[in-house]
């Protein structure tokens, strides 16, 4: 029987490896930027076309490569960082596996130009699908230029799984920001479809954060610094009042490498305990320096997860450092034991003896002695009382004569009236305890239970409505109708609102502007780091605008649907979730009735926009069974 196991060809093995290394255009951006940083570049340019599907190009002024290295870098597991297995535990660079360029070349058209500083001429190599097309000598500037074109050209199934250009571009921006934040000493420039999006000059950590996320970020930052034998911590956290619903502004860097760690994130949340609103997330930009032999960065293909030797100590140090910074800068409430200078003894009275109070007693005082009244006062009081009496006695002049005349007229009238002909009004006695109108009101009355459910009696029993889900359904259909019919009403603001967002969020807001305008939002002039809103929908208050937009951005972070109806549906759902009355909110009887009537006027009152039941019914028979013995 012949053997059935055989070695895969190199180009097939490279395509399989590309499945782990290259998931989307952002993966190519990450690998090429990290290679440029490892090449000791001080100026790096990133050029993107069509969200990386057509072109991803990285140009640096690093050390460059020789002719042999330029050819060898595309071989599998070819690297300049590793010589022996022990080197894996003393890594100070990023790219060390030597499989990134080989994987990229297997699924794209790659053009590389490189030259070392001491060389007069450089090397120009073109590779298509792991096949070397050409290798020439060329006059080039110092450094390296990688151009990756037509990504996944030979794997159409993988290309079809890519999201819309907006989503893919957002992932590229995320990777660019992570590398740029980790290396503020490098000048980064980012171009997309011919336009410059970022121009980040060399700076310190704080200025780099502000340049990426906008000028308003500076007032949000609280510095954090801690030096220990285990770890060195530096960076910034945001003030609690600037917390958001999403986790977009959360960055951990370990030895200048971006990582994701739920364990360290929990330490930050523990430091913010009692300072954040429900569901809100703090922002942080923390740089950790640890000995390379105490971490393992080779546990995940994307190298974004790290294994620490002593996680418990790192957790405690990070939590205490953040908590100390929040208290030091008066962000979190602390007990103040400082002495108030106003309570100190003045200098002039420092050596003065205290004076004791004295008591004076009148020995001739007799509480039982008769007091003689003041004659003048008594005379004046009698005179005033007499004057007042003369004034009100005049009111009754002639009253006796009028009274006698009225009695005489009444007696003569009574003599002319026969008592037998008089009709007395009798009150009809009703056997029922309640009026019919009261009974009808009681039947239609709604009741709120635990500020969560609304109970409404019906003929067959009762209906129990979930107030939050019911309001979501009502608002969802209202927003959907307004956006599809283009008849949304808007209310003008006396003072326009200026809302600041990061560059990635601003791009998302610009993408959503047409749909938001159909809901009633009115946008004024555009700006790079903020939007100006002069009108809002009638059912949105001014204080809710920022909450609605932040929730909308958070819900659509994973991608904006390409279909216009799906995009409208997603926006309507997100706004309904933000504006719906929450569990725990007290509703008046009129509000309860309006909510119930609005729910049953919807097209699909049975479920919320998120396919959860909005109400249940209980029949009288079901209640009878509960009381059955």
The two structure tokens encoding residue 381:
């009081």
- On whether both 243 and 160 belong to a single domain, the answer is no
Domain-terminating residue out of 177, 200, 223: 200
Residues 265 and 162 placed together within one structural domain of the fold: no
Indicate if 67 and 178 belong to the same structural domain. yes
Question: Are 80 and 223 within one domain?
Answer: no
- The CATH number of residue 603's host domain is 3.30.1370.100
* Count of structural domains within the chain: 3
Q: Is residue 421 assigned to a domain?
A: no
- Whether residue 258 is contained in a domain is answered as yes
Residues 139 and 279 in one domain: no
pLDDT along the chain (629 residues), means of 10: 71 64 87 90 94 92 89 75 54 61 88 92 90 90 93 84 82 91 94 90 92 84 91 92 81 89 90 84 91 73 74 91 85 55 62 77 77 51 52 56 52 49 52 43 71 88 90 90 75 84 77 81 78 84 83 70 69 86 88 90 90 90 83
Asked if residue 168 and residue 50 are part of one domain, the reply reads yes
Same domain, 46 and 165: yes
Beta-sheet pairing, 250-254 with 284-289: parallel
Chain centroid offset of residue 227 CA: 31
Choose among 472, 572, 580, 471: nearest CA to 512.
572
Q: For residues 31 and 24, give the distance between their C-alpha atoms in angstroms, rounded to a whole number.
A: 12
> What's residue 553's pLDDT?
79
Provide the domain limits for residue 279.
205-328
Q: Do residues 30 and 163 both lie within one domain?
A: yes
Residues 196 and 211 in one domain: no
Give the residue from 456, 459, 460, 482 showing the smallest Cα distance to 470: 456
Q: How many other C-beta atoms are found inside a 10 Å radius of the C-beta of residue 235?
A: 24
* Domain contains 417: no
Who contacts 158 (Cβ-Cβ below 8 Å, separation ≥6)? Answer: 19, 107, 152
The CATH number of residue 93's host domain is 3.30.565.10
Please state, in angstroms and rounded to a whole number, the distance separating the CA atoms of residues 477 and 471. Answer: 10
* Measured distance between the N- and C-terminal CA atoms of the chain, rounded to whole angstroms: 78
Q: Which two tokens stand for residue 55?
A: 């072109």
> What is the secondary structure of 485-525 as a DSSP string?
HT---EEEEEEEEEEE--HHHHHHHHHHHHHHHHHT-EEEE
Evaluate whether residue 134 is within a structural domain.
yes
Query: Whole-prediction pTM value?
Result: 0.69
Residue 286 contacts residue 253 (beta carbons within 8 Å): yes
- Angle at which helices 503-519 and 165-182 cross, to 10°: 150
- Identify whether the C-beta of residue 46 lies closer than 8 Å to the C-beta of residue 33: yes
């Amino acid at each position: 029987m012949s053997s059935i196991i055989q070695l895969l060809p190199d180009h097939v093995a490279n395509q399989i490896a590309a499945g782990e290394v290259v998931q989307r255009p952002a993966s190519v951006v990450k690998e090429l930027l990290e290679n440029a940083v490892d090449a000791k570049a001080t100026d790096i340019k990133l050029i993107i076309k069509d969200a990386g599907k057509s072109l991803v190009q990285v140009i640096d002024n690093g050390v460059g490569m020789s002719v042999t290295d330029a050819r060898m870098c595309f071989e599998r597991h070819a690297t300049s960082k590793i010589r022996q297995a022990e080197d894996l535990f003393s890594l100070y660079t990023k790219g060390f596996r030597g499989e990134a360029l080989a994987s990229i070349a297997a699924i794209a058209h790659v053009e590389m130009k490189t030259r070392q500083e001491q060389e007069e001429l450089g090397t120009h190599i073109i590779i298509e699908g792991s096949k070397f097309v050409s290798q020439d000598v060329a006059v080039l500037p110092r450094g390296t230029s990688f151009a990756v074109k037509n990504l996944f050209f030979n794997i159409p199934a993988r290309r079809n799984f890519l999201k819309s250009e907006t989503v893919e571009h957002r992932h590229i921006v995320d990777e660019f920001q992570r590398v740029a934040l980790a290396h503020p000493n490098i000048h980064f420039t980012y171009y997309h479809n011919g336009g410059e999006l970022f121009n980040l000059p060399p700076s310190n950590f704080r200025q780099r954060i502000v340049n990426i996320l906008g000028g308003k970020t500076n007032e949000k930052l609280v510095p954090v610094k801690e030096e220990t034998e285990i770890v060195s911590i530096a960076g910034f956290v945001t003030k609690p009042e600037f917390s958001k619903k999403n986790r977009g502004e959360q960055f951990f860097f370990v030895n200048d490498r971006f990582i994701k760690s739920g364990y360290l994130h929990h330490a930050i949340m523990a430091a913010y305990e009692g300072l954040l609103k429900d569901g809100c997330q703090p922002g942080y930009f923390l740089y950790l320096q640890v000995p390379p032999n105490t971490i393992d960065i080779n546990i995940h293909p994307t190298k974004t997860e790290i294994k620490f030797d002593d996680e418990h100590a790192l957790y405690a140090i990070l939590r205490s450092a953040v908590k100390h910074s929040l208290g030091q800068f008066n962000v979190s409430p602390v007990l103040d034991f400082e002495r108030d200078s106003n309570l100190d003894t003045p200098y002039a009275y420092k050596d003065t003896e205290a004076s004791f109070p004295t008591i004076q007693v009148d020995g001739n005082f007799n509480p039982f002695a008769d007091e003689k009244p003041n004659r003048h006062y008594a005379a004046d009081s009698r005179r005033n009382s007499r004057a007042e009496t003369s004034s009100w006695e005049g009111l009754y002049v002639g009253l006796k004569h009028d009274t006698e005349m009225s009695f005489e007229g009444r007696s003569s009238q009574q003599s002319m009236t026969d008592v037998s002909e008089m009709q007395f009004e009798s009150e009809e006695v009703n056997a029922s305890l309640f009026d019919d109108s009261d009974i009808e009101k009681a039947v239609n009355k709604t009741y709120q239970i635990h500020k969560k459910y609304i109970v409404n009696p019906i003929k067959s029993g009762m209906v129990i409505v979930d107030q939050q889900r019911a309001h979501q359904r009502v608002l969802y259909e209202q927003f959907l109708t307004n956006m599809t019919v283009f008849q949304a009403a808007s209310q003008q603001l006396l003072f326009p609102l200026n809302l600041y967002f990061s560059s990635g969020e601003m791009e998302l807001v610009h993408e959503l502007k047409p749909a938001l305008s159909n809901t009633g939002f009115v946008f004024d002039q555009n700006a790079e780091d903020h939007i100006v809103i002069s009108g809002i929908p009638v059912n949105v208050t001014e204080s809710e605008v920022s909450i609605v937009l932040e929730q909308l951005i958070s819900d659509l972070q994973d991608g904006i649907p390409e279909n216009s109806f799906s995009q409208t549906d997603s926006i309507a759902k997100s706004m309904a979730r933000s504006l719906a009355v929450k569990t725990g909110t007290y509703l008046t009887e009129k509000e309860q009735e309006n909510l119930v009537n609005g729910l049953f006027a919807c097209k699909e009152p049975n479920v919320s926009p998120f396919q959860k039941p909005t109400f249940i019914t209980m029949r009288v028979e079901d209640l009878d069974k509960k009381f059955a013995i």
